[in-house]
Structure 1
Amino acid sequence: MKTMISLLKREFWEHKGMFLWTPLCVAGAMIFVFLLSFLRGHALFGARILGRVTTFKEDIPRVGDLLASMYLLFSGPLLIVMAIIIFFYCLGALFDDRRDRSILFWKSLPVSDFQTVLSKLITASLTVPVIFILCAIAMSFLMLMIVSIALTTQDVYVFQELFLNGKLYLAPLQLFATLPVYILWALPSIGWLMLVSSWAHSRVFLWAVGIPLLLVFLVVMLNLLLGQNGDIKWFSNLIVGRALGGILPGAWIEFEHVPLASFARPSGTGVDFSNVLSVSWQTMFSLQLWLGVVAAAGMFYLTVRLRRWREAA
């Protein structure tokens, strides 16, 4: 256990810029732009909100409830950045130390290849998402306060409705509750990227992206040669989507063809995060999910084996 904790710490400190400073800088930039939209620019988001002040004054409790239940939508762009960080981290996780030959040093330590690969898998699937989710929650809350203060300047006081609304405190817990679902759906993509990282001698990105696209292209050409008009969308979703797109938050909505209307609030306006959580957990009964987990386990095994054979890139 101590060895694994040390390995996880090593991954964090080696990639501190990606894992910590990137989300903080992106969150800071988003907050600055968001604040700027309220200070100037009639066509910006903040001006459009303040332009509906008259409507807000008519039903302040409803406005407070809407803000408390939907403020985490501000975190969407930051979670997209998280997927990009995980993608490039996995690509370099087992390739970089072969490229600079530091693998010879790490193999001299009393740490097995299984432990090394597992630590990188845990980092990509758990450590990075937790850091980004914490940053996303803090950023979204600050944006919510900016909106509330801006409304206060227009005599719309929503602070009481906000802080007495349980959804304000429940939403972050619901976001964290989707993390196990995200991890399971992301495992095939993480497994594929790490497998390529442990195998490729060079141009890791091209191999990781090119092989799934090439398979889809070959299937398309085969259909044309055989005169078939079969729908290959399912195949492209299976190969490209599961191999590369699983690390995107909410990718299971596309994989399981979940209608977006199922996430709507009872009033028909906005998103109900309790529905998002329940629908997300329902996908845990999907055969596609568990077949992906089995495939990820196979790729993890191959990655460990390749780690033993590959000395340097």
Structure 2
Amino acid sequence: MMAFAALIRREFIEHRGAFLIGPLILVAVLFGATILAFTVGRIDVRFSGAIFTVAPLRFYEFGFLAFGVAWMLYLLAVLFFYCADGFAADKRNNSMLFWKSMPVSDFRMLLSKLAAALTILPGTVYAIALLSGLLFFAVAFTTMSINGTASFAMLGSVASIYLQVAGAILLALIVGLLWYLPYIGLVGALATALGRWAIPVSLLLPSLVATLEWVTLGGLHPFTTRTWNYLNYRSTFPLSENGYPDVWLATGERFDLNAFAVDLLGKTDWLQVLIGAVFALVALYIASEYRRRASAN
């Protein structure tokens, strides 16, 4: 267990630039640019303060959720490149023999990379998202204070909103990682054999499989096959149209974490989540067997 934890920590150390340092730099640049914009008069404090005053709590809810969605999209993109790079890092930097000297099998080695992709690496991005929410409120409250419209009575309401939205972002993050787990496992398994070529191969593979079905079973074109329809279904986040987010935006009510959780968990196909988890583990096991045999030759 200590060796497994050390392997997960190694993944964080090796890739903290993309999952921690890079996001912190982005937040610092955006925060600094905002402060500079107010300082040099690019933004009218009275005008912006008036905007925040119209519906400050609603504006904060929407802004924090927008930050959360943006960071989740960033996480998905970075995880894709992490799987294509991290699962082949040992082979590329000639440290394979060193890591194979540890009392850990190849499967557990790859499993530690998958565990890092599902826990500590997304956790750092989630922490950055929480920091973004705090900084967003700080800018809004400072602007209202300068404008003379701020009230400390709203701090309690803001704290409640912060917890509600933070919980929703965390829940969406967990469900999203579980939902896209087969893609993470597939790209990682391909990277074990192909290295960074796993990036173009993983993008091209669905089209090849759909084309093969079209050639063998017929159809109008490759993008009307059952394979392509299934991949579209598994690539779409479980929140459907006319779900709670759409209803919340149309009503103007306060964001409700419980209603969001019921909607998201109820619309998630948990059988597909289980099938995806099994697929990811099988793909990693096959990749570990290839890694073990390839390094022995």
TM band (smaller chain): 0.7 to 0.9
Distance apart, 1:146 and its partner CA: 0.3
The answer as to whether partners of 1:71 and 1:140 remain within 8 angstroms in 2 is yes
Partner of 1:94: 87
Counterparts of 1:127 and 1:114, CA distance in 2:
19
Percentage of identical aligned residues = 23
Partner of 2:266: 282
Give secondary structure in 1 for the equivalent of 2:3: helix
Give per-residue Cα distances to partners, 1:262-309, cap 9 Å, x unaligned. Answer: 213286238835243332222344433333223223223222222212
Between stretches 168-177 and 125-134, larger displacement belongs to: 168-177
Give per-residue Cα distances to partners, 1:196-241, cap 9 Å, x unaligned. Answer: 0112266222222221232234456668xx4647972763353367
- What TM-score do you get using the length of structure 1 for normalisation? 0.79
| RMSD (Å), alpha carbons | 3.4
Partner of 2:287: 303
Q: In the superposition, relative to structure 1, how do residues 48 and 292 fare at CA in structure 2: closer, same or farther (>3 Å)?
A: farther
Distance apart, 1:194 and its partner CA: 0.8
Distance apart, 1:37 and its partner CA: 5.2
What are the ranges of 5 or more consecutive residues in structure 2 without an aligned counterpart? none
Give per-residue Cα distances to partners, 1:150-189, cap 9 Å, x unaligned. Answer: 1222222144213344222332233223343123112111
Partner of 2:164: 170
Partner of 1:213: 207
Which amino acid is the alignment partner of residue 252 of structure 2? T
Counterparts of 1:34 and 1:78, CA distance in 2:
18
Distance apart, 1:4 and its partner CA: 1.2
- Specify which of 146, 150, 162 is matched with residue 139 of structure 2: 146
Distance apart, 1:78 and its partner CA: 2.6
- Specify which of 251, 262, 281 is matched with residue 268 of structure 1: 251
Give per-residue Cα distances to partners, 1:45-77, cap 9 Å, x unaligned. Answer: x66993682x765x6xx5335525752422332
- What TM-score do you get using the length of structure 2 for normalisation? 0.82
Greater percentage in helix: 2
Q: In the superposition, relative to structure 1, how do residues 68 and 204 fare at CA in structure 2: closer, same or farther (>3 Å)?
A: closer
- Specify which of 245, 252, 265 is matched with residue 238 of structure 2: 252
Q: Is 1:104 aligned to residue 88 of structure 2?
A: no
